[in-house]
Amino acid sequence: MNYAKNPQMLEAFALKPMLIILATSFASHALAQEPNTAIDLPSVAVTGNPLGVGSDELVVPVSILSGRELSLKRESTLGDTLNGIPGVAATHFGPNASRPVIRGLDAERVRIMQNGIGILDASSLSFDHAVGVDPIVIEQIDVVRGPAALLYGGSAVGGVVNVIDHRIPKEKLEGITGRGEVRFGGAESQRNGAAVVDVGNGQFAIHGDAYSRKTSDLDIPGFSVSKRKNQADGTLRENRGMLVNSSAESDGGALGASLTFDNGYVGTSYSTLNNNYGTVAEEAVRIDMKSDRWDFASEFSDLGNIINRAKLRLAHTDYQHQELENGEVGTTFKNRGIEGSVEVGHAKIGNITGVVGFQFNNTNFEALGDEAFVPGVNTQNKAIYVYEELPINQHKITFGGRIGHTSVDSKTDAKFGAGQSNNFNPNSYALGGLYRFNPNWSLASNLSHNERAPSYFELYANGAHLATGQFEVGNSNFDKERSNGLDAQIRWKDGKNSFNFGAYYTRFSNFIGLLDTGNIDADSGLPVAQFSAFAATFKGFEAEGRFNVDDNLDLTLRGDYVRATNHDNRDALPRITPLRLGAGLHYQKNNWGARIDVLRAFNQSRTAPNELTTDGYTDVSALVTYKLPTKVNLELFAKANNLLNQEIREHASFLKDLSPAGERSALLGLRADF
């Protein structure tokens, strides 16, 4: 990547030495810390409940990754970082582009947010488009599994992934805190580094972070093309041992500041992200991505007897990526817009507590070039929501609703014709409850009705989509997508031991899916895929447990399964993750730590028409850590992935038969916090 030709990227990259200088200036403070004491920034109330309760009090199932656990689990993409959490898979379009898949639902049904505001990029449009956030600077990830449309909109009907980065300090800070991390190795020969620093005087706080990531082409076991695809259509099995055009180079950073008070804060931040990576599906095509984002946030509590707290969040994003063909710009995608929310909490009405909120966004999407398959579109959303909780002794009832309006207007284009306008009024409602049998056992359930307005590409797509190898056709006459869902979890917790098992059933009366028609487009020669509306069901289970076997040894268990069916023709839906079962042993004593994890994914033979089956695999990974005997908290770690050197192909991926996961590999890293 040529930084000299891009002054904005050079400016972002220059943040790193600034942070190093800041950290050095306060080295004496860091050295004064007690040895081997990890310091984390204050945790944030988990996503899924605006009243700020802990995860044990939530009606919806939520998984949280933060602190050291997140640091050791990080991968190059958000999807791969979360892959393996019960109910969560990944689209895995090579090692550089991967979105989370929750309970078999992806794209516009999984809401990806940054500090509670949507990430504006183009990753839901195409699976080769990377998510506009890098996991290396994230401090916490909350994953809401199941419908969360009540609070976050129709695109959260499958779930929510909220990444939290503390770029706007929210609590008083005196002195300096921070962390840093470097890692080398792995199947992609990664060379990554990041630094995060927060400085404050008790009222004014400043945040800075910067990172750099470089990877080479991914080493793979065997050929990139699967044997099944070779036998099905004759695709040659070439490129043994390496996934061609899978290298990447990215960097970014942020500066933020806030005024903190006894009962709240007000602050702002600016962040930039640059990512240049190979698309894997086309050996001569790379994507050069850039995203600039301004955030403003404020929250105050203890305001009065009627409104007791208020929260405001705003974000403006300017996103662009160019698809480079042999170094020349082929197609350019742009997405620019603003999103915000205002939320107020009211004092108790009887014994009821809750919030009222207003959310809005206005985005303008453009696709310029010969390979654009969607016209320019303006999308606007506005919604009012209410969420209430009624405690009854040790039990709890939750209820609420959301009323919204969405307009999706395409622009007149020589390629796509006259502009079109569509308007929708998606509304959602939910009723949930938490019942405690005793201090150890509890039952949570949630019944919801959810509606989603069709996305711009589901309405207006009409062209060759080379990344997925299809000619995609939308339908501007679509109505709202509607679903009713039931979710229930049984939970047990006793000291260091815990276990939960959940089951869910979601019935869509009008599910919008991309289905292979069996036809071939005459001009492009690609199979035609049509966005279609039909009845569908998604049902499955999730389980997770942690048991303290010995003072220094924990056993973890996990598993998930999802079954998705098109009820108009009884066919299976495509790209549904098979049954997965996993177990792990985690050991920690004094400065040493070790863990070994095994995940068994079974073969997926229940496939959609024209979809190939996928073989199962056993993924074995290991980790060893050692905290150095220094005054600053330093930890060395070594990770080994795919120890059995299996050919791992994720069925949820469009590229499963062209892009396997990496071969057996190891990487070394050093993390520090103070």
Digit-coded pLDDT (tens) for 321-352: 999 988 889 899 999 999 999 999 999 999 99
pLDDT digits (tens, 9 = 90+) for 545-569: 999 999 899 999 999 999 999 999 9
Q: Is the pLDDT of residue 92 over 80?
A: yes
The average confidence (pLDDT) of the chain is 89
* pLDDT at position 565: 97
CA distances from 134 to 36, 44, 74, 297, 423 (A): 27, 19, 10, 21, 34
Q: Note whether 27 and 19 are within 8 A (CB).
A: no
> What is the average per-residue pLDDT within 484-513?
95
Looking at residue 54, its pLDDT comes to 64
What was the pLDDT predicted at 14?
Answer: 38
Mean pLDDT of 65-85: 90
Q: How many angstroms separate the CA atoms of 621 and 666, rounded?
A: 10
How is residue 630 annotated by DSSP? Answer: S
The residue behind tokens 């689990």 is 73
Residue with tokens 């984002």: 293
Q: Which 3-state string (H, E, C) describes 431-469?
A: EEEEEECCCCEEEEEEEEEEEECCCHHHHHCEEEECCCC
Question: In sequence order, which residues have a C-beta less than 8 Å from that of residue 259 and are 6 or more positions away?
Answer: 203, 204, 265, 266, 267
Question: pLDDT value at position 53?
Answer: 66
CA 573 from chain centre, in angstroms, equals: 22
154 backbone dihedrals φ, ψ, rounded to 5°: -60, -30
pLDDT digits (tens, 9 = 90+) for 457-473: 999 999 988 777 889 99
Least confident of 53-57, 245-249, 347-351, 532-536: 53-57
- Torsion sign over Cα 473, 96, 642, 145: negative
Tokens of 163: 């990444």
Distance from C-alpha of 44 to C-alpha of 139, rounded to nearest angstrom: 10
Residue tagged 């980790």 (tokens): 623
Q: How many Cα atoms within 13 Å fall on the side-chain side of residue 478?
A: 30
Question: What's the confidence (pLDDT) of residue 281?
Answer: 86
**What pLDDT band is residue 13 in, cutting at 50, 70 and 90?**
very low
Q: Is the pLDDT of residue 161 over 90?
A: yes
Tell me phi and psi for residue 651, to 5 degrees: -65, -25
Taking only the tens place, the pLDDT of each residue in 16-32 is: 433 333 333 333 333 33
To which H or E segment does residue 326 belong? none
pLDDT of residue 282: 85
Burial of 271 (0-12, 13-18, 19+ CB in 10 A): buried
Q: What one-letter code names the amino acid at 634?
A: L
Which residues is 202 bridged to in the sheet?
none
Q: What is the pLDDT of residues 416-469, one digit of tens each?
A: 889 999 999 999 999 999 999 999 999 999 999 999 999 999 999 999 887 778
Q: For residues 508 and 535, is the Cβ–Cβ distance under 8 A?
A: yes
Of 206, 90, 196, which Cα lies nearest the Cα of 140? 196
Q: How confident is the model at residue 41 (pLDDT cuts 50, 70, 90)?
A: very low
Alpha-carbon distance of 648 to 650, in angstroms, equals: 7
Q: Across residues 157-177, what is the average pLDDT?
A: 93
Q: Which tokens hold the place of 79?
A: 């999807």
Task: List the one residue out of 637, 650, 601, 544 whose CA is nearest residue 100.
Answer: 650
Average pLDDT value for residue range 118-122: 90
Residue 8 pLDDT > 70, yes or no?
A: no
- With 70 as the cut, is the pLDDT of residue 657 above it? yes
Which domains can be identified in the chain, with CATH numbers?
3-673 (2.40.170.20)
Residue 270 has pLDDT above 70, yes or no: yes
- CA angle (149 as vertex; 148, 151 as ends), nearest 5: 80
545 residue type, one letter:
G
- Percent of the chain whose predicted confidence (pLDDT) is above 90: 74
pLDDT band at 1 (very low <50, low <70, confident <90, very high): very low
Round the CA-based radius of gyration of the chain to a whole number and report it: 24
- What average pLDDT does range 113-126 have in this prediction? 90
Main-chain phi, psi angles of 280, to 5 degrees: 70, -50
Position 55 scores a pLDDT of 62
Distance CA 602, CA 651 (A): 10
* Per-residue confidence (pLDDT) for residue 6, from 0 to 100: 42
Give residue 12's pLDDT band: very low, low, confident or very high (50, 70, 90): very low
d(CA 162, CA 60): 15
DSSP, residue by residue, 341-407: EEEEEEEEETTEEEEEEEEEEEEEEEEEETT--S--EEEEEEEEEEEEEEEETTEEEEEEEEEEEEE
Structure tokens at 491: 């939970």
* Averaged pLDDT, 394-407: 94
**What CA–CA distances, in Å, run from 540 to 363, 543, 609?**
35, 11, 22
Rounded Cα distance, 78 and 94, in Å: 13
Q: Rounded distance, CA 403 to CA 383, Å? A: 5
Residue whose C-alpha is closest to residue 440's, from 498, 488, 501? 498
Residue 667 has pLDDT above 90, yes or no: yes
| Per-residue pLDDT at 98 | 92
pTM of the model: 0.90
Which pLDDT tens digit goes with each residue over 174-214? Answer: 999 999 999 999 999 999 999 999 999 999 999 999 999 99
| Host H or E run for residue 105 | none
